[in-house]
Amino acid sequence: METKFIFITGGVLSSLGKGITAASIGTLLKASGFSVGILKLDPYINVDPGTMSPLEHGEVFVTKDGAETDLDLGHYERFLNTSLTKDNNFTTGKIYLSVLEKERRGEYLGKTIQVVPHIVNEIKERIYNAGKGKDILIVELGGTVGDIEGLPFLETIRQIKHEKGSANVMNIHVTLLPYIKAAGELKTKPTQHSVQELRRIGITPNMIILRSEHPIPREIKEKVALSCDVDKESVIEARDAATIYRVPLNFLSQDILKPIAKQLELGDFKTDIGEWSDLVNKILHPSDSVRIAFVGKYLDLKESYKSLTEALIHAGANLDLKVDIKWVDSEEIEEDGAKKFLEDVDGILVAGGFGKRGVEGKIEAIRYARENKVPFLGICLGMQLSIIEYARNVLGLKEANSVEFDPNTKEPLIYLIDSFIDANGQRQIRTTSSPLGGTMRLGEYKCNVKEGSNLYKAYNSKIIYERHRHRYEANPKYKEALEKAGMIVTGESDGLIEAVEVKNHPWFVGVQFHPEFTSRLQKPNEIILAFVKAAKELSKK
Ligand code: GLN
C-alpha cells in the first residue's frame, strides 16, 4: 500500500510525552500487522544532539549506524522492537547544513534560497525517504506549536496533506488539560488556543490526545471535541501511567485505532497485544525483587541514563523481578567510602560518563564490588575504570589512569588511539586536538567473544554486535600483565579491548560498548539480563 503518514504535534507545553505517544501508537499499529516507520523532527539548530550537555538534552541515543540522536529514538526502538538509523531523526541544523552545502556546490542554479520552497522541500524529501517501503510512517515534531523554529516543519506537514490527500495523512495533536485546584476543574482553554494556532498555520487536527493527571469526565471530552472540531471518539485521554509500557494498552482500551483506521482507510485488522500485555503485568506485579546500586554522577538528571534504566526494567520484566535501583552519587562515595552505600545491594552498576568529576568514587565502588564479590557490570567508562582499578590495586601501578583525566599519566591504561576503521569502513583519525562534535567511535561494531566467559554465556555466541559512544580505548599494551594477574579480556574487536572479566569473582564484567541501546521490552539486552540474573541468584546464596 502507499505510505500513510501520522503527524504528531504538541501544544500548550513541552514534556507531554509525545515520544511515548508516538511510540505507543506505533506499537499498536505494528501489533495490527502494519509495517511501521517512525521519525523524529527536532526544530533546534544544533546539527545533532551529540555535543549537547545531558543537562540540556537528556540522553544522547546512538543508532546502529552511529548517529547521535534524540532520546525519543530510544523509546521508538524499545517499543517497536526495531533498529532505526540516522534517517529517523533530523534537526533544523542538519536541514540548513545540507541546503547550504548544495547551494555552495551550485545545485540551485542561481536561484534565491528561501525557507519556502527550499528548506521545506528538503524536509519533505527526508520525510518521504523515511517512509519508503512502510505502510505507515509516524512523524513526531519536537517542541510546541507556536515555536518559531517549528514553522517550516508545520508548513511541510501542511503541504504533505495537500499532496497526499486526507486518506493518507492524519494529524494528531497532544495537549495538556491542567487541573485548577481552587476551581476543582480541568481546563480546556489552553487546548482550544493551541488548536486555533495550528489552524492558523493551515493544519486541522484529526485527533486530540489529552494529557491529564486526573480522569477526564465525558463532558470535558465532548467540550474538546466540539470546540476543536474533532469526532468524540477522537478525543483520547492520556492519564499518567504506572509504567510507560502501559500507554499502548491504555490507548487500545479507548479504541484509539478505530478513528485512525477510519481516517487512513486501513480496512479491517486484528490487534495482537497479548505478549506485550503479559510483560506489562510483570512490570506492575513482579513476584520478587533485586536491588542494584547505580553509581554515577548527574544523578539529579536520570533522563541522561534513560536507556539503561529502561534496560533494567526490561530485564526485570523478563525475569519476573522488580529491579530496585539504589542511586549512588559517586562523589558521596569519595567522601564517605563505598561500604556505607553498597553493603545492602545485590549488584553494582557503573555506567558510562565523561569527564573527571566523580571518577575516584566510581573506582572505589568497583573496588568494593571486586573485593566483596558483588556482581558487577561496568559500562563504557565503567569498564575503563574497572581496568584502572585493577591496575592500581592488583598490579600495583599506582599511577594507572586514563589520558582523559590525566593527559600525561605515566601509566595510560586508557588512551587515545590515533586511527581506527569506523562503522562505515572508513579510517578515522583522532588527536587531542580533534573537534569534539562527531569524533567518537560511534555505532555498532562486531565483537569477538571468548568462549566460556560470562559474556559468552550471556549471548551464547562467539560474535556479537553492540553500539559504542566513546573517545578513549583500553590500552592493549597492558593486556598481558592484566591477564596474568587475573583480569581477562573476553571481548575484542580488531585489536581493541571490548570486554574484561575478573577470574576469581562470581560475576564481574566490564564492557566498552553500551548494551543498553539494544535492549527492548520484548527482547532485553543479553548482558544486562545476565547481570540482573546473577545479582538475584547470588543474593539468594
Ligand atoms: N569518557 C570515556 C570515553 O570517551 C567513556 C565514554 C562513555 O562512557 N560513553 O571513552
Q: What is the DSSP string of 424-486?
A: TS-EEE--TTS-STT-SEEEEEEEEE-TTSHHHHHHTSSEEEEEEEES-EE-GGGHHHHHHTT
170-184 pLDDT, tens digit per residue, is: 999 999 999 999 988
User: Residue range 396-418: average pLDDT?
Assistant: 91
pLDDT-above-70 percentage for the chain: 95
Query: How many C-alpha atoms does 483 have within 13 Å on its Cβ side?
Result: 11
> Considering 364, 380, 444, 505, which one is annotated as catalytic?
380
What is the distance between the alpha carbons of residues 459 and 455, in angstroms, rounded to a whole number?
6
228 is catalytic: no
Whether residue 97 is predicted with pLDDT greater than 80 in this model: the reply is: yes
What is the distance between the alpha carbons of residues 363 and 389, in angstroms, rounded to a whole number?
6
What is the distance between the alpha carbons of residues 211 and 55, in angstroms, rounded to a whole number?
25
Which residues are CB-contacts of 157 (< 8 A; sequence separation ≥ 6)? 7, 9, 139, 141, 171, 203
Helix boundaries (H) for 202-256: 218-228, 247-253
363-391 pLDDT, tens digit per residue, is: 999 999 999 999 999 999 999 999 999 99
E-only strand ranges, 187-252: 207-212, 235-239
Test site for ligand 1: of 62, 377, 404, 475, most ligand atoms within 8 A of the Cβ = 404
DSSP-derived 3-state class of residue 287: coil
Does the CB atom of residue 239 touch ligand 1 within 6 A? no
What is the distance between the alpha carbons of residues 381 and 387, in angstroms, rounded to a whole number?
10
Does the CB atom of residue 468 touch ligand 1 within 6 A? no
For residue 205, whether the previous peptide bond is cis, meaning omega lies within 30 degrees of 0, is no
Whether residue 437 is predicted with pLDDT greater than 50 in this model: the reply is: no
Q: Using the Cα atoms of residue 86, residue 89, residue 91 and residue 96 in order, give the sign of their dihedral.
A: positive
What is the distance between the alpha carbons of residues 421 and 411, in angstroms, rounded to a whole number?
25
Residue 420 has what pLDDT? 60
Residue 14 has what pLDDT? 80
Distance 380 CA to ligand 1 centre (A): 6
Name which of 270, 347, 290, 266 is nearest 3 in CA terms: 266
- For the domain 287-540, what is the CATH superfamily, name and number? Class I glutamine amidotransferase (GATase) domain (3.40.50.880)
Average pLDDT, the chain: 92
Residue 253 has what pLDDT? 96
The band of 440, judged by pLDDT with boundaries at 50, 70 and 90, is: confident
Test site for ligand 1: of 384, 413, 417, most ligand atoms within 8 A of the Cβ = 384
The band of 1, judged by pLDDT with boundaries at 50, 70 and 90, is: confident
310 is catalytic: no
Say if CB 69 and CB 86 are below 8 A apart: yes
Say if CB 290 and CB 532 are below 8 A apart: yes
Distance 280 CA to ligand 1 centre (A): 33
Distance 318 CA to ligand 1 centre (A): 29
Whether residue 169 is predicted with pLDDT greater than 50 in this model: the reply is: yes
**Beta partners for 444?**
467
**Beta partners for 464?**
447
> Considering 466, 473, 514, 526, which one is annotated as catalytic?
514
The H or E element spanning position 328 is strand 321-329
Does the CB atom of residue 415 touch ligand 1 within 6 A? no
- For the domain 4-278, what is the CATH superfamily, name and number? P-loop containing nucleotide triphosphate hydrolases (3.40.50.300)
Does the CB atom of residue 353 touch ligand 1 within 6 A? yes
Name which of 513, 508, 521, 500 is nearest 347 in CA terms: 508
Say if CB 513 and CB 467 are below 8 A apart: yes
* Annotated domain spans of the chain: 4-278, 287-540
First vs last C-alpha separation in the chain: 56
Q: How would you class 301 by CB atoms within 10 Å of its CB: exposed for 0-12, middle for 13-18, buried for 19 or more?
A: middle
447 is catalytic: no
Task: Write the DSSP symbol of residue 523.
Answer: B
Say if CB 345 and CB 291 are below 8 A apart: yes
Instruction: Examine domains 4-278 and 287-540 and report if their fold is the same.
Output: yes
Whether residue 472 is predicted with pLDDT greater than 80 in this model: the reply is: yes
User: Residue range 525-536: average pLDDT?
Assistant: 97
236-260 pLDDT, tens digit per residue, is: 999 999 999 999 999 999 999 999 9
Residue 467 C-alpha cell reads as 553500539
Whether residue 497 is predicted with pLDDT greater than 70 in this model: the reply is: yes
pLDDT-above-90 percentage for the chain: 82
Does the CB atom of residue 470 touch ligand 1 within 6 A? yes
260-317 pLDDT, tens digit per residue, is: 999 999 999 999 999 999 999 999 999 999 999 999 886 667 778 899 999 999 999 9
2-36 pLDDT, tens digit per residue, is: 999 999 999 988 888 899 999 999 999 999 999 99
